[in-house]
Chain A
Amino acid sequence: MVEHRPLLKFVSHAVLILGAIIVAFPLYVTFVASTLSLEEILTVPMPLLPGNRFFENYAQVLTAGTTTGSHAAVGSMLFNSMVMALVVPLGKISISIISAFAIVYFRFPMRNFFFWMIFVTLMLPVEVRIIPTFKVIADLGLLNTYAGLTLPLIASATATFLFRQFFMTIPDELAEAARMDGAGPMRFFFDVVLPLSKTTMAALFVIQFIYGWNQYLWPLLVTSEESMYTTVIGIKRMIVGSDAANEWNLVMATAVLAMLPPALVVVLMQRWFVKGLVDTEK
């Protein structure tokens, strides 16, 4: 639209700015709270300008955790979260791209059956299968391990389906040309399919990184040792008992730390994202 109507422009900007403020305000309060002392937070009303305990608060959570709640250092929690947020998407992408490749490019018996098997699992949310999954992981002795934390989340129907849809848009002639050139299936996969899937992979990585980072229910079940807590679980474990008993300044500092990596990933990968959407190399 190239309409030029000043009033419309003003109203639309006002609405957008208001929306941004509404969304950003809780984040701001979180940040402010993380720079105050506990006493300052508990005063009514809570100050809305940053305090002077920024370094103390962050240093304490990173190295020692809270004193009343969990004592696990957030530093190691961040590491655990990072492991989970990296292993889950990388594992997901590598497994589903290979399964999608098999389903699209190979004619094997019951191909459609297997595809539908994978597809049907889309309909089962994590919560439905969480007890049997827990039992399996427990029986395998994987509680409180990185494997136990990540393995069940790696299998993914969504990613397989996405890659399948993408592969089906690659012209058949390309596969045939590669066959003519003497490329075997795996050669075709690495030389042609993989480079063409780069943008799809980037998109999936971003989505799955956030998914892995924000996991709550599963890590809550499989981790009971403080050293295996992820950041999100850490926040939960820091909150104990009544309102006044919690060190909210430390909890808020942890929350800010928990929000940073996903935000960074989105910001840094955004250019890639857009580039991938703009020039489809097909």
Chain B
Amino acid sequence: MAKVELRNVYKSYGTTEIIHGVSMDIADGEFVVMVGPSGCGKSTLLRMIAGLEEISGGDIAIDGRVVNNLEPKDRDIAMVFQQYALYPHMSVHDNMAYGLKIRGLPKAEIETRVQRAAEILELSKLLGRRPRELSGGQRQRVAMGRAIVREPKVFLFDEPLSNLDAKLRVQMRAELQALHKRLGTTTVFVTHDQVEAMTLAQRMMVMNAGHAEQIGAPLEVYGRPASTFVAGFIGSPPMNLIPGTLAEGGAVLLADAGARVGLPAALPKFDGRKLLLGVRPEHLEPCDEAAALLVPDVDFIELLGSDVLVYGHLGADRKGARVAARLHGSMAASDGHLALRFTPKHMHLFDAETGKRIEIE
């Protein structure tokens, strides 16, 4: 087990820079998830930790040792790939044992380690099979087993669940968490799925276009997104972002298409400032017209059973900002208008130019 440090890591292919200086300290035994849309550089970053990609600038240290120029095999890490990358011509047993055999471990030691890993992952009965005789979930487990037997300092996961069906994904998520609890190995996990990130991470790094937009615990990232990107990426449906100008002593946001959105508490110090008002759909609640802060015109409604998703537009002729609200129960909302309010603690403000969070206090 070890801590992993990224110090101002850069990556460029030729003249194209794709990772622009990312820093993060991953503590010993921590489960860190890197999350972002495809092409944001999260997999590249993981592969740089693994040693499969060269580091163009900055340092990566594992257990206090800078590993920039070390081969993957000398970094004491194990990686689980998206497509599993099992050796097709070897049995499950041999797949797991291969790395140990190369390392020249004694046969008895290999045997105990493989048996133990097989037990943890419930693969004992499948040891003689070839990968093609296994289901997707079983293959995924073998790939994990291959990582476990190595007893590495760090586990790296590159979107390991994205090839599984939805149900299996939930199950594997739970197994991964149990595994981490049991082994306590430092883990870096890459995914584009924000639900995976929220449920698995002790800390997460939200990446966008080669930058680390925000690093923090899942609830912190959810509760205080550092930028409009994070606000839009984490949470489903994404946070409502309404652009406009604060007016009337900071009590009202004048949005596009003549829409007015009231603020639950006036912010005189930001009066006249252009910004984005953010409220999560689940923090909007229906109320009387009189107490309403915003009144969107309803476009359509999705019934989820426990909840109702209402989508609408602000402003005249539905030309203003889009608004989504997640309402409890079967509030089969009336067509037409929907009066909504929210509390000050659920209000987020972002700078209109930079998209960065504006601290209200």
Contact = CB atoms under 8 A, between A and B. Distances in A.
Interface of A: 171, 173-174, 176-183, 187, 191-192, 195-196, 279, 281-282
B132 A281 contact: yes
A177 B88 contact: no
B75 to A, nearest CB: 9
A195 B71 CA distance: 25
A179 B71 contact: yes
Contacts, number: 60
A78 B281 CA distance: 84
A181 B88 contact: no
A281 B85 contact: no
Interface string B92-130: 000000110011000000000000000000000000001
B40 interface: no
B88 A281 contact: yes
A231 to B, nearest CB: 38
Interface stretch (B26-34, B76-84, B200-208, B282-290): B76-84
A180 B72 contact: yes
21 contacts: A171-B85, A173-B82, A174-B85, A176-B50, A176-B72, A176-B81, A177-B79, A177-B85, A179-B72, A179-B73, A180-B73, A180-B77, A180-B79, A181-B99, A181-B102, A182-B99, A191-B87, A279-B132, A281-B89, A281-B130, A282-B88
Nearest to A192: B87
Contacts of A191: 87, 98
B52 interface: yes
Contacts of A178: 87
Most buried by B among A176, A179, A181: A181
A179 B52 contact: yes
Contacts of A196: 88-89
Contacts of A195: 89
A183 B72 CA distance: 10
B189 to A, nearest CB: 16
A177 to B, nearest CB: 4
Given A176-B85, A181-B73, A183-B102, 5 more contacts: A173-B81, A176-B52, A177-B85, A180-B72, A181-B99
Contacts of B71: 179
B103 A182 contact: yes
Given A174-B85, A196-B88, A281-B132, A181 B50 contact: no
A277 B52 CA distance: 33
Contacts of B85: 171, 173-174, 176-177
A181 B132 contact: no
